[in-house]
Structure 1
Amino acid sequence: MTKHNVAITTSLLMTILLIPASAFAASPVEPDPDADVQIDAAGASFPFPLIDLWRVEYGKLYPNVQLNYQSIGSGGGVKNHISETIVFAASDAPLKPKESEAAPNTLHIPEAIGAVTIAYNLPGISESGLKLTGEVIADIFLGKITKFNDPAIQNLNPEVSLPDEDIVVAHRSDGAGTTFVFVSYLAKVSQEWDEKVGVGKSVEWPAGIGGKGNEGVANVVKTTPYSIGYIELAYAFQNDIPYAAVENADGTNFVLPSMQSIAAASAGAAPALPQAHESWYGISIINAPGDDSYPISTFTYLLVYENLNNVTNDPDTAQALVHMIYWMITDGQKFNESLHYVPIAPEVQKIGIDGLKRVQFNGESAWIESDTPSYAQPIVTEQPAVIEESVPQTYEQPVVVQQTNSQSLSSEMELLSFYITALIALIAIAVILVIILIIVNMSLVASIKKQIRN
């Protein structure tokens, strides 16, 4: 048997052996269907439309698990996380060093990638695409540019007749991750902003009126003629508010926020990202290079304690939490695009999954490996179902009985498929082993005959 034949046979054998591993990813056990669980969470309004949709869709699969998420802003979410009054938090801003000291062993689990839009209300101009540079945006929020027909804006938009009207600036009144992302961008493009105002979830605004949450700022812009503000992309779509095309980091293009331009901003970020249990402070894709990169793009995170005893004494809650977050960052990603969030890449999903495997309850791992294979696919290729864009609070609770029956049938079919695939794999392995034995036997016979002749 030649080395070449051995190499080919070994390669083929390894391919067969890898079939079950690549087809069925490891996953945590599902929530106990006999245990009613309520998971209290709070934080960023930036991902609230997505989290609320996840609440509905996960509830269809596991109706005994109820997620109660309060959209109070990243600042409020982080405070509640530190005080251990909620099971998990959501934030668009990673924990600062002092916050990490107050909440040690916090995991950062990326859940989606989104964009902060520069939304405006210009009567007579209902389309998106008003061109703005970062410096012009900073000067508007600094109160230096006060008219829409200011030469700094008009010169960027010669084809548009801009009105001689005062600009009403709208900003967040609460501590917000959306604010952190927006002012982080302004600090990168404007030295004056960096020196006079700085960066934070809450800042001293030089001009404007405040609104609470992305919902509040969106309402101010929508109802106030000649206003401008910053809101997450999903809120602009839900409220039918036009938004600006912002100059990219290279100064070569004015880019509208979209699935493609947000994805372009995050391209290549995964290899440089820390693990979930490490510090994420300073991690950013804001003002990323690239001709098609939208400059105000960002990850948004779920904050989870490694030791769940900090926030619950119920083992069923611990089990349900790990599975629910696992579902959000795997199967749940297929809903992202319907609400204008970019799904996280497989490498980023792995960061979250590895983080969840560190979670403990009562001194033991809260990640209990499931005997039933997971069918979560890291790369979402199918087009998600079209979902009507409406105010998130209007989602209704799912019908329990019908979904439970459907889930049971689906589980049986998946289990049957697993056994069939496993059987095929075992048969293939047996065939390969028989081929190897035949080849080895033929080689030995040939060798013996050669020795006899000699």
Structure 2
Amino acid sequence: MKKLLVAGLLALAGAAQAADPLLINGAGATFPFPLYSKWFSEYGKQHPDVRFNYQSIGSGGGIQQITRGTVDFGASDAPMTAEELAKLPGVVHVPTVLGAVVVTYNAPVQGLKLTPETLAGIFLGKIAKWNDPALAAVNPGAKLPDLAIAVVHRSDGSGTTSIFTDYLAKVSPEWKSRVGAGKSVKWPAGLGAKGNEGVTGIVKQTPGAVGYVELAYANQNKLPMAELKNHAGVFVKPTIAATSAAAAGVPMPDDFRVSITDAAGKDAYPIASFTYLLVPGDLRDGAKGKAIVQFLWWAVHDGQHLAAPLDYAPLPRAVVEKVSAKLKTLKVQGRPVALGASR
């Protein structure tokens, strides 16, 4: 009897263990975190045998972790550099959606407009008050307060920072020479905060603050956003349509590593970007590898309808087709994965 009881308990334990979902670990960008959280939740409902654990630690951290092999996938808004790619040969950039980096602020100003020159001037520390003549010239008739500007920027290695500084380096020669572009830069002015969440929080709590965050964070926290003068000379609000317009006409390279900041179209929002999931071209863990590739297929097809409600722009159809072809080249233990038809 005792042996039968022990055997029964072991069988039950084995069944429970078998029922545990496959845990897939990822880390990286905070920029797409609201959407990724939704995706992982919805995918989990359809595939209860798979569970995703994603740490929103910034693009720099995501690239470090996937390079070290401590996570199953990474996430970054900034494409990996040649130096980073050399440390992880064979990694594949999978574009997931498009997002906008917005300039948000905490000041009693309605419909703030910023030119490339005034935006660079603020983050260079040269425009230090809200009623600066340079801001007044761009915002005629606006009641600009006699209030100090508190610049807020990211303190961690950040894809959002990479997108923002990539734009500033394109439009401001002084920014390019003094600061440059990258996931981490030496800021001329301001306070640092971790993640899009951290910057959003400080801007929300600090009178006079100006910061840069992903569109979803500003909308969800009901923060005002500046209209930016784009490459065509048109002031554009950050919207999903304007984000999509930034990608129109920009050739997509085979490795998907592309910048779409300061795009030429008159409807284009000037600080927009693709965001990426990073995976090995040949995944070594059989069960996890198959689950990751199948999730990626779902994300770029069925998952796209969840993007717009969370303030992200879905991938253009031509990009979906190109990404689909790339996903079919991914291997798990040297073999391709059977991928289902999209919805």
Q: TM-score, normalised by structure 1?
A: 0.70
* Change in CA separation of 1:292 and 1:279 when aligned onto 2, cut-off 3 Å: closer
1:155 is paired with a residue whose SS is helix
Within-5 A mapping of 1:50-449: 50-122=35-107, 124-125=108-109, 127=110, 129-251=111-233, 253-269=234-250, 272-275=251-254, 278=255, 280=257, 283-309=258-284, 313=285, 315-365=286-336, 367-370=337-340, 374-376=341-343
Q: Deviations over 1:177-203 (max 9, x none)?
A: 000000011001100000000011000
Q: C-alpha separation between the residues in 1 aligned to 2:191 and 2:307?
A: 31
Counterpart amino acid of residue 256 in structure 1: K
Counterpart amino acid of residue 257 in structure 1: P
Q: C-alpha separation between the residues in 2 aligned to 1:96 and 1:263?
A: 24
Q: 1:361 Cα deviation (Å)?
A: 2.0
Aligned identity (percent) is 47
Return the structure number with greater strand share.
2
Counterpart amino acid of residue 368 in structure 1: A
Q: 1:375 Cα deviation (Å)?
A: 4.4
Q: Deviations over 1:315-355 (max 9, x none)?
A: 22111111111111100000000011000012211222222
Q: C-alpha separation between the residues in 2 aligned to 1:306 and 1:341?
A: 26
Q: C-alpha separation between the residues in 2 aligned to 1:299 and 1:369?
A: 23
Q: 1:91 Cα deviation (Å)?
A: 0.6
Contact 1:77–1:91 (CA under 8 A) maintained in structure 2:
yes
Q: C-alpha separation between the residues in 1 aligned to 2:177 and 2:94?
A: 32
Unaligned runs of 5+ in 2: 1-17
Q: C-alpha separation between the residues in 2 aligned to 1:279 and 1:182?
A: 19
Counterpart amino acid of residue 351 in structure 1: K
Q: Deviations over 1:183-232 (max 9, x none)?
A: 01100110000000001100000000011000000001000011000000
Q: C-alpha separation between the residues in 1 aligned to 2:322 and 2:19?
A: 31
2:80 is paired with a residue whose SS is coil
Bigger radius of gyration among the two: 1
- Between 1:316-325 and 1:37-46, the stretch displaced more is 316-325
Q: C-alpha separation between the residues in 2 aligned to 1:34 and 1:244?
A: 50
Q: C-alpha separation between the residues in 1 aligned to 2:116 and 2:202?
A: 22
Q: C-alpha separation between the residues in 1 aligned to 2:90 and 2:318?
A: 22
Q: 1:357 Cα deviation (Å)?
A: 1.6
Counterpart amino acid of residue 242 in structure 2: S
Q: 1:363 Cα deviation (Å)?
A: 2.1
List structure 1 runs of 4+ shifted beyond 4 angstroms: none
Counterpart amino acid of residue 332 in structure 2: F
2:277 is paired with a residue whose SS is strand
Q: C-alpha separation between the residues in 2 aligned to 1:88 and 1:291?
A: 36
Q: C-alpha separation between the residues in 1 aligned to 2:143 and 2:153?
A: 26
Contact 1:173–1:212 (CA under 8 A) maintained in structure 2:
yes
- Between 1:356-365 and 1:52-61, the stretch displaced more is 356-365
Q: C-alpha separation between the residues in 2 aligned to 1:330 and 1:101?
A: 30
Q: Deviations over 1:229-287 (max 9, x none)?
A: 00000000111110100001022x21110011111111123xx2122xx372xx21101
Counterpart amino acid of residue 362 in structure 1: Q
Q: 1:35 Cα deviation (Å)?
A: 7.0
Q: C-alpha separation between the residues in 2 aligned to 1:89 and 1:362?
A: 19
Q: State the superposition RMSD in angstroms.
A: 1.4
1:108 is paired with a residue whose SS is strand
Contact 2:298–2:342 (CA under 8 A) maintained in structure 1:
no
Contact 2:98–2:314 (CA under 8 A) maintained in structure 1:
yes
Contact 2:294–2:339 (CA under 8 A) maintained in structure 1:
no
- Give the aligned length: 326
Contact 2:28–2:55 (CA under 8 A) maintained in structure 1:
yes
Q: C-alpha separation between the residues in 2 aligned to 1:349 and 1:287?
A: 23
Q: C-alpha separation between the residues in 1 aligned to 2:249 and 2:290?
A: 33
The match for 1:24 is none
